[in-house]
Amino acid sequence: MSVEVARESLFGESIASEDTRPLALLAPLPEARQRAALARAETLMRALALLDEARGDEPESTDGDPALRRLESKVDLLVGMVGALLQRDQPVDPVRALHWSARGAMLELDDAPVPSPGDAVALRLQPSDTLPEALVLPAHVLAVESVGDGRRAWLRFDPLPAALEALLERHLFRLHRRAVAERRRQR
């Protein structure tokens, strides 16, 4: 498959986000581990949605109740500490450029082993800095492209449960909305 066709099939009519995230390509998971990884991914995405919606996308205003702001700060601190404990026991993935949607991802693979088109893989991806836990999503390589000193791999996620796909779309929409708001603030 050509890179243009891969790009269109992954990002053509869907919400997508460009970011740099800790991520790694893994060997495909056996079916039982894949089901467990998808269930954990859905749980993580639900938790991130709750955290994001509770916080809101607006910058903190000075009009709010001071006791509520203190409580939110304490919860943020606690989540950060729990996240640091989780990260301590997990592999440290390199931060790489990523363009992703609920359908799949394009990632920069500068020094990583590059799979071939058609290969089954698993993408381990930390979707948020809020809670540093990784999603593991099954995928297939659609295309590989040489770019400068590195390569790009275009991955289509294997069919995801409908609830997980909806949660990913919602997460990507929030990321997109924040990026647009940040660009407006910089003007």
Instruction: Concatenate the DSSP letters of all residues of 44-70 into one string.
Output: HHHHHHHHHHHH-SSPPPSSS-HHHHH
Residue 98 has pLDDT above 70, yes or no: yes
Assigned superfamily of 3-57+66-186: predicted glycosyltransferase like domains (2.40.10.220)
Cβ 140 vs Cβ 155: under 8 Å: yes
| Alpha carbons 78 and 138: distance in angstroms, whole number | 31
Of 42-51, 60-69, 104-113, 148-157, the range with the lowest mean pLDDT is: 60-69
Residue 58 has pLDDT above 60, yes or no: no
Task: State residue 157 phi and psi, 5-degree precision.
Answer: -65, 140
Q: What is the pLDDT of residues 154-169, one digit of tens each?
A: 999 999 999 999 999 9
- What pLDDT is attached to residue 63? 57
Complete DSSP assignment for the chain:
--HHHHHHHHHTTS-EEEEEEEEEEEPPPPHHHHHHHHHHHHHHHHHHHHHHHHH-SSPPPSSS-HHHHHHHHHHHHHHHHHHHHHHHTS--PPEEEEEEESSEEEEEESSSPPPPTT-EEEEEE---SSS---EEEEEEEEEEEEETTEEEEEEEEPPPPHHHHHHHHHHHHHHHHHHHHHHHHH-
Greater model confidence, 179 or 38: 38
Q: What is the pLDDT of residues 129-138, one digit of tens each?
A: 777 788 999 9
